[in-house]
A and B are shown apart, each in its own frame.
Chain A
Amino acid sequence: MTSLEIAAIKQPGFSADAQQGAASAITVHLAGAADGLAHPHLDKYLKELHREACRVGAAEVNVDVSALHFINSSCLMLFVAWLMCLRDLEARKQYRVVLAAGTKQQRRAFDVLANVAAGLVVIQ
């Protein structure tokens, strides 16, 4: 796998950082509040993440949302848009998205994505 090229986000109330791990996996850590202030940054970030995951041939993208204490519906929709792009890829180019929630509330917020993109996303 070639190296990952994606700039981290470090805003006062929101951050995102990605690392390339072993076995064709990318791990992303999101922290803070994904609200209206974070929306344009997260929008750009998830689009870049998808491009990079495709470019490096990732088999899996793990998104750790355990430090994300709030997400609004507009930011949730950015995940939906990402998953729709993933769904539209040829099957051999698709990768798996694993969302790691830390709390019952985070799990509840993201659970719906498993219904939206069945088979492509796992909520842990």
Chain B
Amino acid sequence: MKRPVINLQFRPTMELLSPMRDFVAELFKSHWMSEDVVYRIVVTLHELLENVMKYSTDGVAHLSADLAQADRETILCLRVSNECMPERLSTLQGEFDSMRKGADANSYYTALMQKNAYRTDGSGLGLARIWAEAQMNISCEIAGSKATIVAQTPVEPVAATP
């Protein structure tokens, strides 16, 4: 199978996110993925890129998408990296610690929605949504001031690579 790769470095803006969603959807839809998987990818990348816009120190996102074979499964791996302020790295670590302690993705997502209902500085929901609604295995790698969010899921290509 030919491996689809996205490897982009850019500055996401509100105006760029819509064409970005369309690009990602078309890329994965036309080549390999079911409509449902495409939707999950779009939700994941949108939420991660919005986080870059909010928390990056330089506004630059590095986005990559790749497929790998593992134990007869095809695993889609999405990675979004950006430079962060130290306080954001600490918040991010805290969010992943909370998710790890959560009973399951849907309960955690629902509880977080209720907890953040009156929050005024953003929803604080993006990562939990990726875990619950987009059904991704999500993790965080921190190296110096750079945070990389990794979202992975098994996928089943619906057609042969053109």
Interface positions of A (Cβ within 8 A of B): 13, 33, 35-37, 70, 72-74, 76-77, 80-81, 84, 104-105, 108-109, 112, 115-116
Contact = CB atoms under 8 A, between A and B. Distances in A.
16 contacts: A33-B21, A35-B18, A70-B21, A72-B50, A73-B47, A73-B126, A76-B113, A77-B117, A77-B125, A84-B118, A105-B35, A105-B36, A108-B133, A112-B133, A116-B114, A116-B117
A112 B110 contact: yes
Given A35-B14, A84-B117, A112-B109, 14 more contacts: A36-B14, A37-B18, A72-B50, A73-B123, A73-B125, A74-B122, A74-B123, A76-B123, A77-B119, A77-B125, A80-B113, A81-B118, A108-B133, A112-B133
A35 B46 CA distance: 9
Contacts of B17: 35-36
Main secondary structure of the interface of B (DSSP, over half): helix
A99 to B, nearest CB: 15
Contacts of A81: 117-118
A26 to B, nearest CB: 23
A44 B126 CA distance: 22
Interface residues of B, number: 29
B87 interface: no
B129 A73 contact: yes
A77 B133 contact: no
Given A13-B18, A77-B125, A36 B50 contact: yes
A36 B18 CA distance: 10
Contacts of B21: 33, 70
Most buried by A among B14, B39, B119, B122: B39
B132 interface: yes
A111 to B, nearest CB: 8
Contact of B113 (A72, A104, A105, A112): A112
A60 to B, nearest CB: 22
Nearest to A78: B123
A116 B113 contact: yes
A116 to B, nearest CB: 5
Most buried by A among B15, B18, B35, B50: B18
